[in-house]
Chain A
Amino acid sequence: MIAPDPQATLRIGASGRYVFLTLVVAYGIYLLPWFQPFLRPNLPLIVLLHWCLYELRRVGHTSAFAMGLLVDIADGSLFGLNALAYTVVLHLTQLFRVRILKFNLWQQALHVLALLLIGQLIVMFLNVFQGNAAAVGPIYFLTSVVGAALWPIVYFLLEVPRQRFQAEEMQ
């Protein structure tokens, strides 16, 4: 589903396959019917950010763009709306990558919070620009807080099976 761009991100190899798998799972979770939409973390973006920090070679602008388009499909929003937000957020993450990696997980979560908020602001701005300025209050930004709070959990969920997955691949 994600464009197999030779230049970018998901190269053939054990780790690439694992990254791809986690992204598909994150997207699947995003598709789950959620009881309260404002509590739904933006998991595809969080997983993308995780791999951008810890596996820089695997995800880049192309995968962020492709994932954004898929999220646009799921959201029913304009084509390219989330794609734009995802690409910008991923770019910012790349810029601050070295800095963010110096902190521990909870301090990283604060950085992730800022990045997710930037993404939401872009999406909100584009929606308002499009004329969909429906009533969304500050509660709209709650998803970013939830997402940032999940950051350490996501770290363990992604990193622990990854080591096992790759150990199996090596055999």
Chain B
Amino acid sequence: MDSQSQPFFVRGPSAGARLLFFMAISLVLMVIDARFNYLQRVRETLTAAVYPLQRLAQMPGQALERVNGFFVTQQKLQQDNLAIRQQLLEQSQQLQRMKALEAEAATLRRILGAKEQVPGTSMLVELLHVDRNPFLRKIVVNKGTQDGVLAGQAVIDADGVVGQVTLSSPFSSEVTLITEKGQPMPVMVQRTGLRAVLFGSGRPNALELPFVPVNADIENGDVLVTSGIDGVYPPGLPVATVSNIERNAAYVFAKITCSPAAGVDRNKFYLVLQVPRIDDTAKSSRPSLAIEKGEKIKQVVVPTPSGANPNP
């Protein structure tokens, strides 16, 4: 111990003064982080700095997985092979139908004089970890700006929309799930074409559809798809299924609960849709806060005429 070399009396401000100082800094930081976007760069830099440690922390689990993979029996492999071949068959059939439908849709669209949809590229990402804050519904995935994953891009899995990239550092990015409390998303009821805005509820498997009139034509089991008018999510992706409707004549709006179509909390791999950036509505890193401002929600819901397709 080298306590001899230390000054006996601690110099500098008193403990209380330090506490107040750091409390003030924390509060200022929180306000800046919540209200403005100045700290985005700092956060990205620090996230990149912590990245090696994060990778290190992932290693034991990955090693375990590799060892497990080594001891898979041949029988299991054969079973898996069979199942996968069957699945392939079924899906190729579906794909053929899909191609026909796509061709048909393209013709129709041309007839309507509508522009072609942008066939955006997509990038397979892997879940790194789930954010530890139990109040937030966010995950961190293993691709970042180096691979072209940018804030604002939509994230999907095989069954539907999962969320949106809200922060990207060089080697990893943070995805806000659609279940995050107050995360808005413009949707459309597939059966009727009714447009609405879907909100996350903060609970893992529930979404809310708050502003639909009591007498609207919507039923249990209706499928909600993205309407595409926000310029973030391409239209037509399944988002959720209506699971419960409470109509109370005393209120203007029905209380509608939906369950997400995608395995929002269950997957390990996701697809990031790299649709060319259309406008900056998606830039806001904290959608839950953006809602509180009236003008921003308008931007999300109402399509901007110029925002349809800048570079088809």
Q: Which residue of B lies closest to A1 (CB)?
A: B49
Q: Do A38 and B15 form a contact, CB below 8 Å, given A131-B288, A134-B181, A134-B202?
A: no
Bound together, the chains give a CA A79 to CA B47 distance in angstroms of 12
Q: Which of chain B's residues have a CB closer than 8 A to the CB of A91?
A: 15-16, 18-19
A135–B26 CB distance below 8 A: no
Among B125-133, B185-193, B227-235, B275-283, the stretch that binds chain A is B125-133
B287 to chain A, nearest CB (A): 11
Q: Which of chain B's residues have a CB closer than 8 A to the CB of A81?
A: 26, 30
Q: What is the total number of residues of chain A having a CB less than 8 Å from a CB of chain B?
A: 55
Question: Interface on B for A, CB 8 Å cutoff?
Answer: 1-3, 5-6, 11-12, 15-16, 18-19, 21-23, 25-30, 32-34, 39, 42-43, 46-47, 49-50, 53-54, 56-58, 60-61, 129-138, 140, 174, 181-182, 202-203, 288-289, 292
- Is A98 positioned at the interface, with any CB of B under 8 Å from its CB? no
Main SS class of interface, A: helix
Of A30, A91, A124, A132, chain B has the most CB atoms within 10 Å of the CB of A132
B30 to chain A, nearest CB (A): 5
A28–B15 CB distance below 8 A: no
Task: Given contact pairs A65-B22, A87-B19, enumerate 7 new A-B contacts (beta carbons under 8 Å).
Answer: A14-B2, A64-B22, A78-B33, A79-B32, A80-B33, A84-B27, A134-B135
Q: Which of chain B's residues have a CB closer than 8 A to the CB of A15?
A: 1-2
Q: Which of chain A's residues have a CB closer than 8 A to the CB of B54?
A: 31, 74
Question: Interface on A for B, CB 8 Å cutoff?
Answer: 1, 7, 11, 13-15, 24, 27-34, 37-38, 40, 57, 60-62, 64-65, 68-70, 73-81, 83-84, 87-88, 91, 94-95, 124, 126-127, 130-136, 140, 166
Main SS class of interface, B: helix
Pairs across A and B, CB under 8 Å, 25 listed: A13-B1, A28-B53, A31-B53, A32-B60, A33-B57, A37-B130, A61-B15, A68-B26, A70-B50, A75-B131, A76-B132, A76-B136, A79-B29, A79-B33, A81-B30, A83-B22, A83-B25, A83-B26, A83-B29, A84-B22, A88-B23, A91-B15, A126-B30, A133-B202, A134-B203
A61–B134 CB distance below 8 A: no
Q: Which residue of B lies closest to A38 (CB)?
A: B134
Bound together, the chains give a CA A166 to CA B3 distance in angstroms of 13
Q: Which residue of A lies closest to B47 (CB)?
A: A73
